[in-house]
């Protein structure tokens, strides 16, 4: 089964219980400080990221949220660029959308006065630029896959085996402080998409 690249990859961890212990564990771990992870927990929401001195323009930001679906709780994680980078992406998409709309209006106006409708060229140019920006986001994910692995590995270690509905393959014999010693250089895991 192939999955298409996503602008903001998402994963879910089904939970046996409400997950408040997991969020408390993440909060305590972040409060102790770490050389590899920083972040904040507020209620059923959290974010984790690399410390500022290790971040680049493309460094990922992992949003976590405890959700209640029917009779089951799910910990949903969503990778995205830092908020200021994500806002920049959306602003560029918005500007391109407005330029495509202006090209359509200009082209239509040119058609109505029997001129060559060169304004319609804005549509394929805008589509090509949108595809380029989407491709840049996918390339950025590839360049930061090691950082995404570190963040996902941290979350996997914070979810205790007795809270996880599905067993995690690395649960046995693992220590919750192990995220300090994990090296991501040999791992190029990309999170599952939902």
Burial of 115 per CB tally in 10 Å (0-12, 13-18, 19+):
exposed
> At residue 175, does pLDDT exceed 70?
no
For residue range 79-130, list pLDDT tens digits in order: 988 888 888 888 999 999 999 999 999 999 999 999 999 999 999 999 899 8
Give dist(CA 26, CA 39) in Å, integer. 9
Identity of the highest mean pLDDT range in 10-14, 28-32, 34-38, 115-119:
115-119
Provide mean pLDDT across the span 128-149: 87
Helix (H) or strand (E) holding 30: helix 20-32
pTM above 0.85, yes or no: no
C-beta of residue 178 within 8 angstroms of C-beta of residue 147: no
Report whether pLDDT(29) > 60: yes
Question: Mean of the pLDDT values across residues 29-36?
Answer: 86
CB 123 within 8 A of CB 100: yes
Greatest Cα pair distance, the chain, in angstroms, is 76
Secondary structure (3-state) at 158: helix
DSSP line for 89-148 = HHHHHHHHHHHHHHHHHHHHHHHHTT---GGGGHHHHHHHHHHHHHHHHHHHHHHTHHHH
Reported as a single tens digit per residue, the pLDDT across 36-95 is 889 999 988 999 999 988 888 888 889 999 888 888 888 899 998 888 888 888 899 999
Whether 3 has a pLDDT exceeding 90, the answer reads no
Can you give the pLDDT at residue 122? Answer: 92
Given this model, what pLDDT does residue 71 score? 82
Measured distance CA(97)–CA(103) in Å, rounded: 10
The Cα 103–Cα 119 span in angstroms is 5
Comparing 3-7, 23-27, 71-75, 190-194, which segment has the lowest mean pLDDT? 190-194
Model confidence at 154: pLDDT above 80 = yes
Length of the chain: 194
Q: What percent of the chain has pLDDT over 70?
A: 79
**β-bridge pairing 60-69 and 72-81:** antiparallel
């Amino acid at each position: 089964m192939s999955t298409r690249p996503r602008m903001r990859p998402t994963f879910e961890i089904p939970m046996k219980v409400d997950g408040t212990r997991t969020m408390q564990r993440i909060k305590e771990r972040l409060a102790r400080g770490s050389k590899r992870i920083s972040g904040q927990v507020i209620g059923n929401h959290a974010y984790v990221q690399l410390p500022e001195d290790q971040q680049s323009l493309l460094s990922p930001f992992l949003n976590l949220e405890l959700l209640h679906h029917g009779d089951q709780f799910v910990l949903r994680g969503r990778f995205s660029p830092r908020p200021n980078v994500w806002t920049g992406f959306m602003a560029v998409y918005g500007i391109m959308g407005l330029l495509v709309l202006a090209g359509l209006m200009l082209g239509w106006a040119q058609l109505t006065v029997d001129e060559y409708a060169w304004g319609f060229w804005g549509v394929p140019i805008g589509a090509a630029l949108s595809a380029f920006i989407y491709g840049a986001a996918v390339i950025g994910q590839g360049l930061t896959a090691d950082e995404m692995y570190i963040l996902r590995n941290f979350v996997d270690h914070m979810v205790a085996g007795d809270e996880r509905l599905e067993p995690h393959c690395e649960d046995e014999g693992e220590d919750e402080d192990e995220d300090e010693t994990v090296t991501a250089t040999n791992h190029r895991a990309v999170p599952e998409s939902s």
